[in-house]
Amino acid sequence: EIVLTQSPATLSLSPGERATLSCRASQSVSSFFAWYQQRPGQAPRLLIYDVSNRATGIPARFSGSGSGTDFTLTISSLEPEDFAVYYCHHRTRWPYTFGQGTKLEIK
């Protein structure tokens, strides 16, 4: 099983600031990598798929990058609705797994 490790566990920032979230895989996941956002009390939603492709309706301030085992989600300028938990995810082979999550909180 491929283990995904996210850092930091919690990130405290203010609206308007830039957020950088990281995810490291225990082995290469090629480009089969995604990011999901979960707001409090809601189901997760797809943000980024295949490393760098924004899902339908996702604002341009969200971007993804990386390759192999190291990936980054960047939010260029935080909006109030961006404070949530973010999960990375691989779909290289079964079992697909998620990272443990990074909580982005308001400073």
Shortest approach of another protein to residue 16 CB, angstroms? 28
Give the position of tokens 């301030």: 61
Q: Which residue number, 41 or 80, has a Cβ lying nearer to another protein? A: 41
Shortest approach of another protein to residue 86 CB, angstroms? 11
Render 45-103 in DSSP notation, one character per residue. Answer: EEEEETTTEEPTT--TTEEEEEETTEEEEEESS--GGG-SEEEEEE-SSSSPEE---EE
Shortest approach of another protein to residue 43 CB, angstroms? 4
Contacting residues toward another protein, per CB under 8 A: 32, 34, 36, 42-46, 49-50, 55, 87, 89-91, 94-101
